Every structure is written in structure tokens, then in C-alpha cells.
Structure 1
Amino acid sequence: MSEGLSPRAAHLGMLLWAVLVGLSFPAVRVMSELPPFSLTSLRFFIACGGLWWLARRSPFFLPRWRQLPLYSLMGLCLAGFFGAMFWAAHHATALSMATLFVTVPLLAFLLGLGFGVERLAWRLPAILALGATGALGLAFAESVGQAGRLQFGIGEAVFFLGCLSTALYPVLSKWGLATGRLPASAAVRTFWSLGLGAVLIGLLGLAVEPVAGLASMTGRDLWLLLFLGLLSTALTFWLLQRATAVLTPGAVTAYSYLVPFVSMLLLFVREPERIGWVWLPGSLLVIVAIALLLRNGRAAG
């Protein structure tokens, strides 16, 4: 199931995942105004192209008919999250979305309990609560002096459904592995879930976006799209699927707490004048939470 991967190696892989995801946000911000759903679909297809050579080496590359519904549901989770995120970005404040996103690991833990892939114990929920508190601290620190307030309306409700959707993705992967419905190859699982997600979100883009807007893509946009597709999508989802084989959904998604920390470091590089004590409490809590996860990984390994 785990392809010989140790829990410690899985945790270290998720550290790299957090760094890559954190680096992707500046890249997205400097891209031209392009249709977001169609752009995400292209990003997923590029990721599938990068994974194809690795996935096709598996004897279980071609899915069996009974695997297609599960792969489709996983793809729907990806399309649901990105669709909700892009829509909510125009109807919710950044602070509200950042606050809601910290619920993802706790949602993954609770969903994992329902699917029987998490154990009912106090240690992981305590670590998740610690990391969530730290991530909230970083979100509020970033909001200091900026427009936006914490609120809950239709935009926040839609984004919460997106958070629920992305929390379900690793739970379905873990459940599929535990029940023998999915192959051991992380590349194969990543390839098919991203591929079906690309189709679903691409269809959404065709329905609601002026796809002709992609014609305005510049050379820089194309290079950034290749970076996002190959590194920030193919590699990150492969690392997530790889870790899911030996870690629980709650532990895997807990590394999302590290993403705002990485973004904070990049912010300080670009705008060192924004460094202040307001960032310290959240940063310390996130670091402690990740250190506790790594300690659990060493113990389990």
C-alpha cells in the first residue's frame, strides 16, 4: 500500500508540499487576468502530462470500471474546491476565507472518523487545534491595516462547502486504499483524480466563462502556468497522495497550516517593513504544531 514509504519520509514530503504551495500564490497573483476555471483546467491537464510517464509504468495504470466512480468523486472534490474558491473570492473577504480554510484539517479528521480511516484519540485533534490557532493568528496578522472583516454570508457559505470538498479528497484516497479500491501507485491515483477534475472544472469554465479570454495569455503567463502545472500541481498532489498511503487525512491536511507561514516569509522578503511582533504568536504555534507532527512521524517510523 505504502510503496515502502516510512511515516517520517511522508511527513518530510509534506513539508516540501507546504513550501511548493506557499510559493505558488505569488505566481498566481502576477498572472494576467485570465478565466480562472479554464486556467485551472489547463493547469490540471499540464500536471497530468507531467505525471503520465510515471503513472503509465504501473501495471494498474488503466482503471477498472469499479474505480471510475471513486476517481470521479475525487475529481469532483478538486473541481468543487477550486470552483468554490474562485466564486467566493468575489463574494467574501480574504480574512473570512483564510479563517474558514483552517477548518480543513479538522474537517478531514471528522470525515476520516466517519469513513473509518482515523482513530478516535486526543493527540491529533489537539495538534490540529494548535495549528489552526496559529494559522488564524497569521491570517489576522496579515489583515492588520488592510480592508476586510470577518463575516459569514453566501460567499463564505460557498467557500466552506469548498473546504469540505477539499477535506474529503484525502479521506476518499485513504478509504480507497484501505478497501483495495485504489492502486498503491501514488502517481496513478494523482493522474486520474486530476484528469477527471480537469474535465469537470473545464466544463464549468465553458459554461460560465469567456474561454476566448485565454487568447490574451502572454509568454510569462505560459511559463507560470507550466510552473504551476508541473510543480505546484503535479508534484504537490503526488506528494499528498504519497503521504496519504501512510498518514491519516488529518495529519496530511495539517500541513496546510504551514502554507501561510511560507507566504509570510515571502512577504517579508518583498516588504521587510511589514515585519512586526503581531506575526510572532501565530508563527510559533504553527511551528510547534508541525514539530509535534514530525515527532509523531519519527515515533511511528
Structure 2
Amino acid sequence: MASPSSSVWSAHLGMLLWALLVGFSFPAVGLLTEGLPPLLLTSLRFAIAAMAVLPLVLRAPGVVPTRSGLVLYALMGLCLAGFFGAMFWVAHRVTALSMSTLFVSVPLLAYVLGRWLGVEHPARALLALLTLGALGAMALAWAQAGGDVTQIQFGVGEAVFFVGCIASALYPVLSKYGLLRSWVSPHAGVRTLWSLVLGGALIGMLGLVFNSPVALTRMTWGDLALVVYLGLFSSGVTFWLQQRATAILTPAAVTAYGYLVPFVSMLLLFWAEPERISLVWLPGSTLVVIAIVLLLQRDVRSRSKIACAK
């Protein structure tokens, strides 16, 4: 049986892989043919991921949800639809810097929502680490924008995206809430499956309203291969890793790994354009790495103390 500290290490390493997969997915998305309907593509990704997960969980506990579980899964799916719907709606209405700046609020929002629903404990040290990571992620976003702070604005588009950020923060909080009350399956794959199915269905309905289904006919075989890759890895594996970590870590700790995504994007940028390397990236990347390392140490020590007390 794995020790408590090894379980925490495993969860954190899984979320590190999550950050790498999410960071690598952005260049892949950029290779898709222009003009394809983004919401319908996301729904298709979720469907592919759900079909891949289904054979792995057929005999898992809780694969058929209870009434309370189904309601909670539906709310979790609504959170996914809210975030992706908001992200695609504001894509051409909000600057990338404004979106990046607002997105760093997700871990802090997860902590506040977690406290509200009783799945987070009061922790000043955790708040300090989340703030440190947020400052680092904002510094990376500022560096990527070339230091042009005038790109940060707040209007209707930004307000809609912030609502999407709240939905994104609420997703792991609801999952943890259901786990603590045994409303959802203890199996990470089952929770992943239902999140993908219900979230994909809701996003697909949004796509039918805001996108043109006919545009899907422009897909090439290369586009289809990319969507399959994104469905399996950027949706299926990442959702499973997040659900797996949620059973061990707090929602705020899980969402804090979102701070590493711009760090991974920075590394990819340096690989593609070495001439972009400069000291302007150093403060943000340093703060993000320090925050994640301290978060890992904090969780391992905390779990070890609990184990010793027992």
C-alpha cells in the first residue's frame, strides 16, 4: 500500500504531466485549419476522449451514478461548458494579456469556493503560495505581451471570461465535494467519463447555437488526426490526471498547476524562436517554479504529519 507522502508525490507529478500536456496542446490547436467551429471541435474532442475512457471503467465502482451523483456530474459538465463557451466567445473580443491576467485568478477562486463548500481548510501559507504563483504567471503573460500593459482592459468580454474562470475553479471543488460525500465514484476514470460526456453534450449544444455545423466539412485528414490526439491526450488524459489528483489534493492545489502552463508555453517559444530568450522572462518563471516546489513540499509535509499523528 502506498504511503501518504508517496500518494501526494504521485498526485503532484501527475499534475506536472497535466501542465505539460496542456501546454503542448496549444501549438497543436494552432495547426488546425482556420475557420473550423471551435465549440463543436471541443465537443468532438470530448466525445473521442469519452469513447477511449469507457472500456477502462465498465466494471469500476459507481459507473452508474446515483441521483445525487448525476446532478453533481451535470453541474460539473455545466462548469466545463461555461468555461469553454466563455473562452471561445471572447477569443476575438479580448486581448490575450487580459485573458491570461484573469485566468491566474482560478486557483484563488478555487480556494474561496472550496472554503465556501467546506472542502478547503483555512491556510494562510497556501494563500501566500497561490498569490506567489499568480504574480509569476502574470509576469510571464506580461513578458509574452512585450511589456505592453495597455493590453489589459476590462469590459463586457473580460467580464464574461471571468465568469468562465469562476466555472473553471468550481469544477474541481464540486468534484471534491462529491467525493467527500460519496456522491460520485471513487474511481478517477468514472468521474472523468461523466465529466466528458455531460460537458461535451452541453458544449455541443452551445456549438449548434454559436457555430456553423457545416464548417466541420472543411476538416482534412490531418485535422481529424489532430483532433483525435487532442481528444485522447489534451482532454482524456488531462481530465483523468486532474480527477486523480483531486482525490488527494485540495482544489486550490490542483488548479495551481495552471500557473505552469504559460511556463511550458515559454519553453516551447524558446525552442521555436531562440532569439526571444531574454531576462524579461526570468522573474515570472522563477516565481512560478518556486511556488509549485513550495506547494509540493507543503503537501508532502502536511500528509506526513497526519500519518505520524495516526
Q: Do they fold alike, i.e. is TM over 0.5? A: yes
Q: Is contact 1:48-1:194 (8 Å) kept?
A: yes
| Secondary structure, aligned partner of 1:119 | coil
Provide Cα deviations, 1:156-198, integer angstroms capped at 9, x if missing partner. 0000000000000000000000111111000000100110011
The percentage of counterpart residues that share the same residue type is: 60
| Secondary structure, aligned partner of 1:92 | coil
Instruction: Report the equivalent of 1:142.
Output: 144
Q: Is contact 1:105-1:250 (8 Å) kept?
A: yes
Instruction: Report the equivalent of 1:231.
Output: 233
Q: Distance in 2 between matches of 1:232 and 1:221?
A: 15
Equivalent residue for 2:119, pick from 95, 109, 117 = 117
| Secondary structure, aligned partner of 1:165 | helix
Alpha-carbon RMSD across the aligned residues, in angstroms, is 1.5
Q: Is contact 1:14-1:240 (8 Å) kept?
A: yes
- After the TM superposition, which parts of structure 1 deviate over 3 Å for at least 4 consecutive aligned residues? 145-148
Matches for 1:45-124 after TM superposition, within 5 Å: 45-124=47-126
The answer on 1:181 being equivalent to 2:179 is: no
Instruction: Report the equivalent of 1:207.
Output: 209
Q: Distance in 2 between matches of 1:138 and 1:59?
A: 42
Worse-superposed segment, 131-140 or 44-53:
44-53
Instruction: Report the equivalent of 2:307.
Output: none
Q: Distance in 1 between matches of 2:17 and 2:239?
A: 11
Q: Distance in 2 between matches of 1:97 and 1:80?
A: 15
Q: Is contact 1:95-1:148 (8 Å) kept?
A: no
Instruction: Report the equivalent of 1:8.
Output: 9
Instruction: Report the equivalent of 2:173.
Output: 171
Q: Which amino acid aligns with 1:275?
A: I
Shift of 1:276: 0.6
| Secondary structure, aligned partner of 2:151 | coil
Q: Is contact 1:94-1:148 (8 Å) kept?
A: no
| Secondary structure, aligned partner of 2:59 | coil
Instruction: Report the equivalent of 2:220.
Output: 218
Equivalent residue for 2:154, pick from 152, 155, 162 = 152
User: Structure 2 unaligned runs (5+)?
Assistant: 305-310
Q: Distance in 1 between matches of 2:143 and 2:82?
A: 29
Q: Distance in 1 between matches of 2:272 and 2:242?
A: 29
Q: Which amino acid aligns with 1:27?
A: A
Worse-superposed segment, 251-260 or 143-152:
143-152
Q: Distance in 1 between matches of 2:149 and 2:275?
A: 19
Q: Distance in 1 between matches of 2:168 and 2:275?
A: 35
Number of equivalenced pairs:
299
Instruction: Report the equivalent of 1:246.
Output: 248
Worse-superposed segment, 59-68 or 35-44:
59-68
Shift of 1:148: 6.7
Instruction: Report the equivalent of 1:277.
Output: 279
Q: Is contact 2:62-2:184 (8 Å) kept?
A: no
Q: Which amino acid aligns with 1:25?
A: F
Q: Is contact 1:257-1:286 (8 Å) kept?
A: yes
Worse-superposed segment, 49-58 or 248-257:
49-58
Worse-superposed segment, 184-193 or 49-58:
49-58
Q: Is contact 2:61-2:185 (8 Å) kept?
A: no
Shift of 1:297: 3.1
The answer on 1:195 being equivalent to 2:202 is: no
Shift of 1:50: 1.2
Q: Distance in 2 between matches of 1:280 and 1:208?
A: 40
Shift of 1:146: 7.2
Q: Distance in 1 between matches of 2:15 and 2:164?
A: 21
Q: Distance in 2 between matches of 1:228 and 1:62?
A: 27
Q: Distance in 2 between matches of 1:272 and 1:116?
A: 46
